[in-house]
Amino acid sequence: MARDWTDPECPVARALDLVGDRWSLLVVRDAMDGARSFTEFRRRTGIARNILTDRLRRLTESGLLAQRTAPSGRRREYVLTDAGRDLFPVILTLRQWGERHAFDPGESHSTLVDLHGVPVPGLTPTGADGTHLGTDTTRVRKVATG
């Protein structure tokens, strides 16, 4: 699939070109939570049919979702690929950021829990030596190709 990259050398820009609109990430979020059918994605997100059709097509063409025959054999369903599942830490980080910054104190919201019902701990990037990383302790370096 030919792409007109926003910033061809930046991994953040390329990732946003693939999943940077709100509907794409919400479809991926719902696929992580078990949604498989067009109807289910639409019900969970409230997205317009034409926009959902476009996002499912784009996510499939980009290799984040795959289509397969549903167990009933009557319909097609969408499932995450390895690349789609690799977005889990991104969705988790956005979720945790939202829990901290997108709600008023005491406002009701959902939270992600593990299989034992325990809230998933906050993600904190760490360096090879275990130190916490942030904007003041990292920098971008170009990788030479060749």
In this structure, are residues 122 and 96 in contact, taking their beta carbons and an 8 Å threshold? yes
Cα atoms in the Cβ-side hemisphere of radius 13 Å centred on 55: 23
Q: Where are the domains of the chain?
A: 11-90
Predicted local distance difference test score (pLDDT) of residue 47: 95
Predicted local distance difference test score (pLDDT) of residue 2: 54
- CATH for 11-90 (3.40.30.10, 1.20.1440.230, 1.10.10.10, 3.90.320.10): 1.10.10.10
In this structure, are residues 21 and 27 in contact, taking their beta carbons and an 8 Å threshold? no
In this structure, are residues 71 and 2 in contact, taking their beta carbons and an 8 Å threshold? no
- In this prediction the pTM is 0.88
pLDDT by residue for the chain (146 residues), tens digit each? 557 888 888 999 999 999 999 999 999 999 999 999 999 999 999 999 999 999 999 999 999 999 999 888 889 999 999 999 999 999 999 999 999 999 999 999 999 999 999 999 999 999 999 999 999 999 999 888 76
